[in-house]
């Protein structure tokens, strides 16, 4: 669905406390979380505003978000 919020806290609400702890304690996790949430916000804005963007670039953004999400999730459950 267009415009869905896929922010890390929205995707993994059951890990809210661990996300906060890792953001505070692990600078790489914090950087990756920030990048993931920025990508998600940008994707959402592009979808909602029907902004012109090359399909390949848009798919790359979604791919990058998915890769970061997988990496962050592995750190949450690891």
Residue 65 and residue 59 in contact, taking contact as beta carbons nearer than 8 Å:
no
pTM given for the model? 0.88
pLDDT for residue 31 is more than 60:
yes
pLDDT at 5: 86
Torsion, CA 25, CA 73, CA 43, CA 13, rounded to 10: -80
Give domain limits for the chain. Answer: 8-77
For the residues 48-55, what does the mean pLDDT come to?
84
DSSP string covering 20-46, please? HHHHHH-HHHHHHHHHHHHHHHHHHHH
Angle at which helices 55-77 and 16-25 cross, to 10°: 90
For the residues 40-68, what does the mean pLDDT come to?
91
């Amino acid at each position: 669905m267009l415009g869905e919020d896929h922010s890390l806290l929205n995707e993994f609400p059951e890990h809210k406390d661990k996300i906060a702890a890792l953001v505070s304690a692990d600078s790489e996790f914090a950087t990756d979380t920030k990048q993931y949430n920025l990508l998600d916000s940008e994707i959402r804005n592009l979808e909602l505003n029907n902004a012109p963007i090359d399909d390949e670039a848009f798919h790359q953004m979604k791919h990058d978000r998915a890769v970061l999400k997988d990496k962050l999730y592995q750190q949450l459950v690891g």
